[in-house]
Structures are given as structure tokens and as C-alpha cells.
Amino acid sequence: MQNEDPLKPDYDFNAHLVAGLTPIIDGDELDFVIDRPSGMKGYIINMTSQGEGTVFRGEQAFHVKAGDLLLFPPSAAHYYHRKHDCASWFHRWVYFRPRAFWNDWLSWQSSYNGVYLTQGLDADNVAQLDKLFVDIEYISKSDLPYRDDLAINLLEQLLIRCKSVQPDVVIKPLEPRIVEAMNYMTQNLNKNFTVEELATHTCLSASRLGHLFRDEVGMTIAQWRDDQRISRAKQLLVTTNYSVSQVGRIVGFADPLYFSRVFKRKAGTSPKRYREHIS
Ligand code: FCB
């Protein structure tokens, strides 16, 4: 029979997100080595909340204590347990299958034997991360509407925060002219301007603007504008009674068919279905 408890061996992690707290106390039933030599299908993010744990053995062994974070990519071996001279090891964890655009957040500065480790965070960061772990577990086990979406949304926050505290992440504000181009586009979502027109607003040549935008934002101007248009369209679909083609027009798509096509590509469903599903 399938084991129903994710804290016990042989639980089948056949899900997109599973979260929990593993409270290991010396001599208790959970006081065993978590040993998965070929890793898991998904990632695991793990934060120690009390006591100490040991990851790996022999020369590769290292220890984790309260506030330390571990990230196990799918192929990394799992081998961890309560540190032998410590009375307990409590750790919170989230198992997840990532979305493609999370890639950047899933590589941290330091890794040991394929496992990422982050230590030495200040108390504020630890408290914020801890709260996210708690909320993810609570929501994923609740029967709230949109439970999965909410849990994934919090997990994204957790991953972004973990990435942003990596020592090698430098804070680089966006180029002011790129911010200006973005502001212009969001204020004129319904207008069909060319890159040349946008460039004159930012005092750059069209090709310089195009390159700079891509370097700074990681996507093209057209892709970014479509993203903004579709997220505004989503809002309008659920908060107004405008017809789908009116919504399309408001966000800059004169052709309803083209609007539906772009919407579907970005949102994974048609505007009509999106409205029915969310409202
Ligand atoms: C639990 C472990 C926890 C984590 C999850 C995926 O059984 O206690 O550390 O590995 O599985």
C-alpha cells in the first residue's frame, strides 16, 4: 500500500508541490537517515528551524543549523539526518516541480556535491523566509479556492527571496531610459506605436533602444508589451462586463482573433475560458 505520510520513507512524491515540517528528535520514529541516492523528480528547498542536521557523510559531510537553506536539484543525492551530538533537527521543506522561467532563481552561489547551501542570513531574512515556508505548507494543505495557485505564488516569492540574498547577486537598477520606455508603453497600451516612435521618447536610436531593452530586461520590447497587454486584459476580463473583443481593443489588439491567439499563448487558455474559470 502507498505510504500516505511524506515524512516516512516510500511516500510517492507524485505532485507538483508538497510541503512539510520534519521534526526529528533523538530516538524518535523520524530519527533516521533520509537517503535517496538518485535524488528526486523535483527540487527540494529545505530550511533548518531548530537544532542541527548533517548532510552527506565522510569527507563530504557538512552541518546545517537554524536559518540555513539547502536546495536539492532533481539529480542531487539526498543523504541527511539529525547531527549526532544534537538533540533535534527540525527542518521545513517544499518539494516542487519548477516552471521553466524559474531557472535563474534555482542556481545559488555555493554548492557542495550538487546541493546548494546558503548560510549566515540575518534574522529579518530568516523570519521572512520562515513565514513563507509556513504559509506554503498551510495553504497547500487547506481547501481554499485557488489553493495550488496561491501556494505556487508563495513558492515563487520564497525562491526569489532566496536568490536575492545570494552574495553574488548585485543590485542593478534598470537604466532610466528603459524605465521611461516601460512607462510610456504601460500608459499607452492601446496605441500601436513603432519602436522608432518609442525611441524618440527615450532619446535613443531604435536599434540602441532594442538592444538595451533586451540586455536589461531579458526580452524584446514587443514581448514585454504583450505581457503587459495580456495582464491588463486578464484584469479587465474578470472585473468588467466588456466583451472579449472590447477588452482586446482596450489593450491594443484591434483584431479579436489575433488577441485570442496572443492571449492563449501567454495565459494558456482563451480569454472566454479565462473569464469563466476565474469569475
Ligand atoms: C521528507 C523528509 C524531508 C524531505 C521530504 C521530501 O520525508 O523528511 O526532509 O526530504 O521528505
Digit-coded pLDDT (tens) for 21-76: 999 999 999 999 999 998 999 999 999 999 999 999 999 999 999 999 999 999 78
Q: Are 73 and 111 in contact (CB under 8 A)?
A: no
CATH number of 17-164: 2.60.120.280
Q: Are 252 and 191 in contact (CB under 8 A)?
A: yes
Distance CA(148)–CA(171), nearest Å, equals 31
Query: In angstroms, what is the span from residue 120 Cα to ligand 1's centroid?
Result: 23
pLDDT per position as a tens digit, 83-129? 999 999 999 999 999 887 888 899 898 889 889 999 999 999 999 99
HSE-CB for 217 with a 13 A CA cutoff = 21
Cut 0.75: pTM above it: no
Ligand 1, pocket-test mutation among 95, 96, 97, 140, most atoms within 8 A of CB: 95
Measured from CB, residues less than 6 Å from any atom of ligand 1 are 6-7, 22, 34, 44, 91, 93, 95
Average pLDDT along the chain: 92
Q: Whose CA is nearest to atom 1 of ligand 1?
A: 7
Domain residue ranges in the chain: 17-164, 176-278
Residue 225 has pLDDT above 80, yes or no: yes
CATH number of 176-278: 1.10.10.60
Q: Whose CA is nearest to atom 6 of ligand 1?
A: 95
pLDDT per position as a tens digit, 230-279? 989 988 998 899 999 999 999 999 999 999 999 988 777 899 988 887 65
Query: In angstroms, what is the span from residue 93 Cα to ligand 1's centroid?
Result: 7
Q: Are 166 and 125 in contact (CB under 8 A)?
A: no
Distance CA(196)–CA(209), nearest Å, equals 9
Distance CA(114)–CA(217), nearest Å, equals 29
Q: What is the pLDDT of residue 2?
A: 60
How many angstroms separate the Cα of 173 from the Cα of each of 23, 104, 178, 202, 209? 41, 18, 10, 17, 17
Q: What is the pLDDT of residue 70?
A: 98
Q: What is the pLDDT of residue 219?
A: 81
**What does the DSSP assignment read for 210-222?**
HHHHHHHHSS-HH
End-to-end alpha carbon distance in the chain: 40
